[in-house]
Amino acid sequence: MVHEALNNCRPDLRLIIILNENEMSISKNTGAFADLIAKIRASEGYYNTKRRTVRFVLKIPFVGRKLFRLIRGIKKSVKDRVFGSNYFEDLGLYYLGPVDGNDRVRVERLLREAKAARQSTVVHIKTVKGKGYAPAEENPGKYHSVRPAGQERERNFSLEAGDILTGMAKADSRICAVTAAMAAGTGLEGFRGAIPERFFDVGIAEEHALTFSAGLAADGMRPYFAVYSSFLQRGYDNLIHDIALQKLPVTVLVDRAGLSFGDGPTHHGIFDVPFLLGIPQFRIFTPSCFDSLKRAMESARTADSPVAIRYPDSGDIPEINNLFTPYDTVRTDFQPDNPPENLIITYGRSVRTALEAERLLSGKAGCGIVLLESLKPCRPVADGIMRFITDGTENVVFLEEGMKNGGAGMVIGDMLDLPSGCRYTHLAIDDIFDSPLCTGEVFTDFGIGVSDVVSSIT
């Protein structure tokens, strides 16, 4: 998008475009001489001299404009030899920099010059991520997202998925890992170190990562693309045209599925279920614990169609296997041949909420949980749920940490043949990006908390 926008940017729009370069070099600006020239070009004296020279040359009768174009051409040739060909100037944009972006005086000087240029200008600054805090400067990736002081990071699904994938890849030479500049966040650093030849970081380019994964799959590989749910949205067209239509066995590890407590609405992973449910060919796994995650990833390895495995930024729930029936698409925490009159259907992290609601309802109303380890294909899931719905079923509550419109509770709920008198309640996020409430309990603010489940049954 950035390149498309730059290509569509006319010089006379008088835009000031700030390019913030953290570490990766964009132009060929190595060496002491190039560094010296860059410092001179960022100085106030340089721009004052430049303006006076331009005014003087343009005032020379008859030859002023021709001489100005000649001097400008010579200057560009010299600059290109020092810095290399400048992509932005080739697009017709005025270019200033590079300059130390942590030096406020120099940055302000370039911004004033950009304003005075009266044409679309790129101001190239180079900053240090975490500047001023030594640990962050030394390890910027680690400090990109920091938890509150004293709060230790638990072993989450991301790290577990990375370790599982590394083990699988050691046993299967077809397996490879793909990331869009999020190796640490998605738990793939271990894979990078263990099997670097089958690890691919394509940069912040989720669309390309998906199409690249499709190419790998078409060539016989088994790619696993790990990506945050909110960033997967960027590649919707690629999911459909490059993967699903071709029925290619690409596995998308949908990380950070669910609400983002720290980063807010830009990072809420609440849209992937509705948009993946609408894509033919895709299977959707929703593991509730680390054991379920491993089973889902192993199933994806032998699948003949695309697979999405979604999981939250939270830790294991090891008691799942003790509380629920053996692993299957549909599991229960009650005897299958003796279902209670009130059912809570859920998947993923929301099982924690369901278990707490069930505890509070104990002694007040007969209640049981139906846990879904998979959402799609939808018909087998609905048929599995129907085994526990009888003429005596009074309430069915479908709880999910995602959007209500197009969500699993809507799609699968439509397939359920409920008895007369049975009330169906779909608890999900209802057509909002962020909750206007701030009670401190995020799930309750969005209407999917423990109290919401309890009140739907009592």
Task: Give pTM, 2 decimals.
Answer: 0.81
Residue 284's nearest CA partner among 256, 266, 305 is 305
Which pLDDT value is given to residue 61?
85
Which pLDDT value is given to residue 407?
97
Please give the backbone phi and psi of residue 100, each rounded to the nearest 5 degrees, phi first.
-65, 110
Q: Which amino acid is at 51?
A: R
Which pLDDT value is given to residue 30?
42
Asked if domains 157-310 and 320-457 share a fold, the reply is: yes
For 320-457, give the CATH class.
alpha beta
Residue 294's nearest CA partner among 271, 314, 311 is 311
Six token digits for residue 150:
């004293």
Which pLDDT value is given to residue 50?
67
Q: Which segments of 42-152 does DSSP mark as H helices, in order?
A: 44-58, 64-83, 87-90, 104-117, 134-138
For 157-310, give the CATH class.
alpha beta
Residues in the chain, overall count: 458
Give the whole-angstrom CA distance, residue 394 versus residue 424.
Answer: 9
Six token digits for residue 241:
């045209």
Which pLDDT value is given to residue 251?
98
Six token digits for residue 344:
């809570």
- Cβ neighbours of residue 35 closer than 8 Å, sequence gap 6 or more: 29
What is the DSSP secondary-structure string of 149-215?
TT-PPPPBHHHHHHHHHHHHHHH-TTEEEEESS-TTTTT-HHHHHH-GGGEEE--S-HHHHHHHHHH
- Cβ neighbours of residue 49 closer than 8 Å, sequence gap 6 or more: none
Cβ–Cβ under 8 Å, residues 412 and 273: no
- Greatest distance between any 2 Cα atoms in the chain: 100
- Cβ neighbours of residue 429 closer than 8 Å, sequence gap 6 or more: 270, 401, 402, 403, 404, 446, 447, 448
Six token digits for residue 250:
């690409």
Q: Splitting the chain (458 residues) into consecutive groups of 10 residues, what average pLDDT does each group show?
A: 84 90 49 47 62 78 81 69 68 87 91 91 88 79 63 83 98 97 94 97 94 97 98 97 97 95 88 97 97 98 97 94 95 95 97 96 89 98 97 96 97 96 96 70 90 94
Which pLDDT value is given to residue 262?
78
Which pLDDT value is given to residue 363?
76
Which residue ranges make up each domain of the chain? Answer: 2-126, 157-310, 320-457
